[in-house]
């Protein structure tokens, strides 16, 4: 392995291909550090997985509709819920961590659209306004509601792993959890990491390996996250329906093929890119108000780049 | 990852106070509030974010067997305030109210004569913070009825790009005016200049080491005017080396702070101090810090033991009547001795704004405790107690 590249550790977490790259440390030390960072990623995955019955989210979801049952949460969960509440308020309800129930209507494995009646039945279960959250205890007021940290859980894991590495003395590292990327310092020679932004219409997109990129963003500190219409989608009558759903209508967004945002931390970049996808034509104004750099790929493949 | 032509690297805005005019988006603030998403390192070059005002009351009392001596009660006020994110101003004022018996050994007034004195000292420091550096200027003023002192000091520090190393340097000067009540001298002066260099190095994420070297050059009146037999050189140069090591114990969250200090001056005094402190957080709100210190000193060349002149007797040193030495002093602070200090500090963080601390130290000094023996004979053991109560509020 060339010295400049350092050591790469690949693994799968949160149903995504992941890599931690460390340079400037000996192999044994790199292995120790990578294992610690991976352990932190797995801790967050286990704690907030919807699929594990013992996870915090499963407990909250299981109590949905039982108004007497307010679930007390630990401090970390409380801070994530505060973040979720803030995102909902600051995005005018577009970013909503209760919108996961819409998956019951959308199956991206079959090229068939859900009927409007099914969506209409689910929409009353979507909305942070139906959540009672007092800062310590939470209740989902409607039976069938579901909380899902998918909108920022992976990004949070990226940041936590990055902080852990930085606190351990890492000065040249890169964390990539399924395209959510954070740099811990530059490459060993001091140059920026070049983060390729995947071409949304590259046919190889599904495979994740050797994707064609339409741009690349250099990164030394901070994070890049991309939301796109190519991760999960179906095509019906030549029109693409992607997995990013508007919580108010239940229908997918279509204004942008992808939105990439550079942020101080990955939870920020991730939230902004998702909200920008949902904002549609208002995405540029919204991102400008947050004073971040971004790269937009619109429905015609035209690229908008803004350096804050 | 694809390499392309070089473009300027993205450096996301950091939400720090060093960029006061940078607008930070609401979602950015919400994201940065999440636990552990960024590393919060206390960098040497960051300006304080909060102001702190604290009031303290210190009580000092010393004694020798069957004799209570000096008692000092000192209320003080301290304030630190950030200004515009890149400046900080620090000010303090302390008043020492001293009462009790004057020192017993070799004093012009023997026994337990009563004394009262009051000293007011204040200082102001202004610091300017830069991206990875800080420079400060301090002015101090101290006044008691027989002694007035003015001092000015400049210091600067600079941190490496990775913040693992911080270099420090400082210079200072003071001017003292001495007018003892017994009028043995009038308008005597003492001028001191000093320089300091130092470096702080993070050895690992849990270990921090520091080394400081200070050199002090003083000219003027160093005698104790209240001691009848006290004649010291008019120049005094001091060299002080300080080595510190702080270790964070990951297993239990405590911190061990250790230090070694070397002192040497042109009077011939040489001293070594080792200190150990153990910072134990008992909970989120309570912290206990037991500490211990050992000090050992070699006497000044002109210190004389209580062996007096056969002709004229106490308090004159032997040979005083026939062939008087140029310099002589019987000040016990210049003798050979060793001393132990045991103490503890208890801190209580009441809430985000208020905190209270209590501190107590017991000091005991004996000739026989000098490292390797050879302590000055004929001196009684000396004991001192120090207690402090403080209350602070952030604003």
pLDDT band for B66, please (50, 70, 90 cuts). confident
Burial (CB count <10 Å: 0-12, 13-18, 19+), residue B226: middle
Query: What is the per-residue pLDDT across A183-214, written as a single tens digit (0 to 9) for each?
Result: 998 888 888 899 988 888 876 544 455 668 88
pLDDT band for B24, please (50, 70, 90 cuts). low
Determine the average pLDDT of the residues in A301-308: 87
B161 part of contact set with chain A, CB < 8 Å = no
Binary contact (B30, A156; C-beta < 8 A): no
- Mean pLDDT of all residues in chain B? 85
Burial (CB count <10 Å: 0-12, 13-18, 19+), residue B304: buried
Residues β-bridged to residue B278:
B256
Residue in B with minimal Cα distance to A265: B37
Per CB-CB distance under 8 Å, the chain A contacts of B35 are 75-76, 79
Alpha helices (H) in B6-105, listed in sequence order: 26-32
Query: What is the per-residue pLDDT across B331-343, written as a single tens digit (0 to 9) for each?
Result: 889 999 999 999 9
| pLDDT of amino acid B162 | 67
The nearest CA of chain B is from the CA of A232 a distance in Å of: 22
Query: What is the per-residue pLDDT across A211-238, written as a single tens digit (0 to 9) for each?
Result: 688 888 889 889 999 998 887 888 888 8
Mutate to test the interface with B, among A86, A264, A287 (most CBs of B within 10 A): A264
Binary contact (B35, A75; C-beta < 8 A): yes
Judged by average pLDDT, the poorest of A138-142, B178-182, B200-204 is B200-204
Determine the average pLDDT of the residues in B176-199: 92
* Residue B27 pLDDT > 70: yes
Sign of CA dihedral A85, A86, A89, A93: negative
A221 part of contact set with chain B, CB < 8 Å = yes
**Between these two residues, B168 and A230, which has the higher pLDDT value?**
B168
* Touching A: B residues 75-104, CB under 8 Å: none
Range list of β-strands (E), chain B: 52-64, 67-83, 87-101, 114-129, 133-144, 147-159, 165-178, 188-204, 207-220, 230-231, 235-249, 254-265, 270-281, 286-298, 308-309, 313-317, 328-329, 337-349, 354-366, 382-394
Backbone angles phi, psi at A34, to 5 degrees: -65, -40
pLDDT band for A107, please (50, 70, 90 cuts). confident
| pLDDT of amino acid A32 | 92
| pLDDT of amino acid A260 | 94
* Touching A: B residues 336-375, CB under 8 Å: none
What is the residue-wise DSSP string for A29-79? HHHHHHHHHHHHHHHHHHHH-SS-TTSHHHHHHHTTT-TT-PEE--HHHHH
pLDDT band for A295, please (50, 70, 90 cuts). very high
* Residue B19 pLDDT > 70: no
Mutate to test the interface with B, among A94, A161, A175, A194 (most CBs of B within 10 A): A194
Residue in A with minimal Cα distance to B10: A219
The nearest CA of chain B is from the CA of A157 a distance in Å of: 9
Judged by average pLDDT, the poorest of A84-93, A202-211, B277-286 is A202-211
Determine the average pLDDT of the residues in A146-152: 91
CA angle, corner A86, sides to A83 and A87, nearest 5? 85
Per CB-CB distance under 8 Å, the chain B contacts of A75 are 35
Binary contact (B27, A193; C-beta < 8 A): no
A199 part of contact set with chain B, CB < 8 Å = no
Contact residues for B263 (Cβ-Cβ < 8 A; gap 6+) = B238, B239, B240, B269, B270, B271, B272, B273
A90 part of contact set with chain B, CB < 8 Å = yes
Range list of β-strands (E), chain A: 7-13, 16-22, 71-72, 131-133, 137-140, 173-177, 180-184, 193-198, 213-219, 221-228, 233-236, 239-242, 256-263, 293-298, 303-306
Strand, coil or helix: what is A155?
A: helix
Determine the average pLDDT of the residues in B144-170: 88
| pLDDT of amino acid B211 | 96
Binary contact (B23, A291; C-beta < 8 A): yes
**Between these two residues, B371 and A104, which has the higher pLDDT value?**
B371
* Closest residue by Cα to residue A232 from A120, A150, A131, A147: A150
Binary contact (B31, A265; C-beta < 8 A): yes
Binary contact (A265, B37; C-beta < 8 A): yes
Query: What is the per-residue pLDDT across B206-218, written as a single tens digit (0 to 9) for each?
Result: 788 999 999 999 9
Binary contact (B28, A166; C-beta < 8 A): no
* Residue B48 pLDDT > 80: no
Residue count (chain B): 395
CA B248 – CA A98 distance, rounded (Å): 42
Binary contact (A76, B35; C-beta < 8 A): yes
Alpha helices (H) in chain B, listed in sequence order: 26-32
Contact A194, A206 (CB under 8 A): no
Strand, coil or helix: what is A189?
A: coil
pLDDT band for B205, please (50, 70, 90 cuts). low
Mutate to test the interface with B, among A291, A294, A305, A308 (most CBs of B within 10 A): A291
Backbone angles phi, psi at A19, to 5 degrees: -145, 140
* Closest residue by Cα to residue A304 from A252, A241, A266, A261: A261
Distances (CA, A) of B254 to A168, B200, B278: 18, 21, 7
pTM for the complete prediction?
0.56
CA A299 – CA A280 distance, rounded (Å): 10
Determine the average pLDDT of the residues in A63-89: 88
Residues β-bridged to residue B63:
B68, B383
B145 part of contact set with chain A, CB < 8 Å = no
B163 part of contact set with chain A, CB < 8 Å = no
CA B121 – CA B96 distance, rounded (Å): 8
The nearest CA of chain B is from the CA of A96 a distance in Å of: 14
Torsion of CA B137, B138, B139, B145, to 10 degrees: -160
A169 part of contact set with chain B, CB < 8 Å = yes
A146 part of contact set with chain B, CB < 8 Å = no
- Give the tokens for residue A284: 């540029």
Per CB-CB distance under 8 Å, the chain B contacts of A268 are 27-28, 31-32
* Residue B7 pLDDT > 60: no
- Work out the number of other CB atoms within 10 angstroms of the CB of residue B335: 25
- Give the tokens for residue A235: 């095509």
B32 part of contact set with chain A, CB < 8 Å = yes
Residue in A with minimal Cα distance to B36: A160
CA A137 – CA B378 distance, rounded (Å): 71
Per CB-CB distance under 8 Å, the chain B contacts of A186 are 9
Determine the average pLDDT of the residues in A141-168: 92
Q: What region does A42 belong to: left with phi over 0, alpha with psi -120 to 50, or beta? A: alpha
Q: What is the helix (H) or strand (E) element at residue A166, kind and residue range? A: helix A153-167
* Touching B: A residues 241-280, CB under 8 Å: 262-268, 271-272, 275
The nearest CA of chain B is from the CA of A162 a distance in Å of: 8
A156 part of contact set with chain B, CB < 8 Å = yes
């Amino acid at each position: 392995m060339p010295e400049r590249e350092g050591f790469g550790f690949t693994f799968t977490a949160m149903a995504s291909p992941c890599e931690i790259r460390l340079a400037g440390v000996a192999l044994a030390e790199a292995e120790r550090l990578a294992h610690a960072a991976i352990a932190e990623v797995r801790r967050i995955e286990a704690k907030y997985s919807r699929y594990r019955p013992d996870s915090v989210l499963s407990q909250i979801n299981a109590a949905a509709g039982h108004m007497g049952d307010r679930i007390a949460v630990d401090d970390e969960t409380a801070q994530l819920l505060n973040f979720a509440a803030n995102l909902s308020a600051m995005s005018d309800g577009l970013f909503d961590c209760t919108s996961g129930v819409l998956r019951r209507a959308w199956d991206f494995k079959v090229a068939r659209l859900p009927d409007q009646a099914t969506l209409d039945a689910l929409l009353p279960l979507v909305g942070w306004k139906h959540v009672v959250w007092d800062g310590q205890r939470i209740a989902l007021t409607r039976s069938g509601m579901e909380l899902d940290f998918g909108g920022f859980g992976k990004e949070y894991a990226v940041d936590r792993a990055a902080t852990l590495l930085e606190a351990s003395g890492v000065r040249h590292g890169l964390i990539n959890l399924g395209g959510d990327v954070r740099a811990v310092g530059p490459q060993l020679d001091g140059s920026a990491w070049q983060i390729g932004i995947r071409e949304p219409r590259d046919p190889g997109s599904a495979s994740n390996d050797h994707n064609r990129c339409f741009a690349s963003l250099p990164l030394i500190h901070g994070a890049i996250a991309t939301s796109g219409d190519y991760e999960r989608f179906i095509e019906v009558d030549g029109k693409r329906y992607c997995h990013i759903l508007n919580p108010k209508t239940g229908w997918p967004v279509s204004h942008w093929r992808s939105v990439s945002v550079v942020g101080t931390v990955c939870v920020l970049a991730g939230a902004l890119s998702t909200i920008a996808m949902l904002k549609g034509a208002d995405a540029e104004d919204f991102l400008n108000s947050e004073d971040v750099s971004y790269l937009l790929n619109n429905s015609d493949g035209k690229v908008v780049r803004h350096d804050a | 990852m694809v390499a392309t032509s070089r473009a300027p690297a993205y450096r996301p805005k950091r939400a720090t106070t060093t960029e006061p005019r940078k607008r930070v988006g609401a979602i950015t603030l919400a994201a940065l509030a999440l636990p552990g998403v960024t590393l919060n390192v206390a960098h040497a070059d960051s300006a304080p974010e909060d102001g702190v005002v604290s009031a303290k009351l210190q009580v000092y009392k010393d004694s020798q067997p069957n004799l209570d001596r000096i008692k000092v009660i000192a209320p003080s006020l301290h304030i630190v305030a950030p200004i515009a994110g890149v400046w900080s101003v620090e000010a303090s004022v302390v008043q020492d109210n001293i009462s009790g018996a004057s020192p017993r050994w070799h004093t012009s007034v023997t026994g337990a004569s009563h004394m009262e004195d009051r000293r007011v000292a204040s200082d102001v420091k202004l610091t300017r913070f830069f991206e990875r550096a800080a420079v400060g200027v301090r002015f101090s003023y101290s006044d008691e009825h027989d002694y007035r002192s003015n001092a000015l000091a400049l210091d600067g520090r600079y941190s490496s790009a990775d913040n693992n190393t911080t270099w420090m340097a400082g210079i200072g000067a003071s001017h003292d005016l001495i007018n003892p009540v017994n009028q043995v001298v009038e308008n005597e002066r003492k001028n001191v200049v000093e320089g300091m260099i130092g470096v702080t190095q993070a050895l690992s994420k849990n270990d921090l080491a520091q080394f400081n070297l200070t050199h002090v050059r003083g000219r003027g009146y160093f005698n104790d005017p209240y001691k009848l037999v006290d004649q010291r050189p008019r120049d005094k140069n001091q060299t002080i080396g300080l080595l510190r090591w702080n270790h964070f114990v990951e297993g239990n969250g405590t911190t061990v702070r250790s230090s070694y200090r070397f002192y040497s001056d042109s009077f011939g005094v040489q001293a070594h101090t080792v200190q150990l402190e153990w910072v134990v957080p008992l909970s989120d709100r309570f912290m206990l810090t037991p500490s211990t210190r050992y000090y050992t000193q070699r006497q000044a060349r002109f210190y004389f033991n209580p062996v007096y002149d056969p002709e004229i007797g106490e308090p004159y040193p032997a040979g005083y009547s026939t062939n008087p030495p140029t310099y002589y002093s019987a000040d016990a602070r210049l003798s050979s001795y060793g001393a132990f200090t045991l103490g503890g500090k208890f801190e209580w963080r009441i809430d985000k704004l208020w905190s209270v601390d209590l501190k107590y130290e017991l000091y005991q000094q004996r000739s026989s405790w000098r490292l390797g023996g050879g302590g000055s004979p004929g001196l009684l053991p000396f004991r001192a107690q120090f207690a402090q109560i403080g209350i602070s509020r952030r604003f």
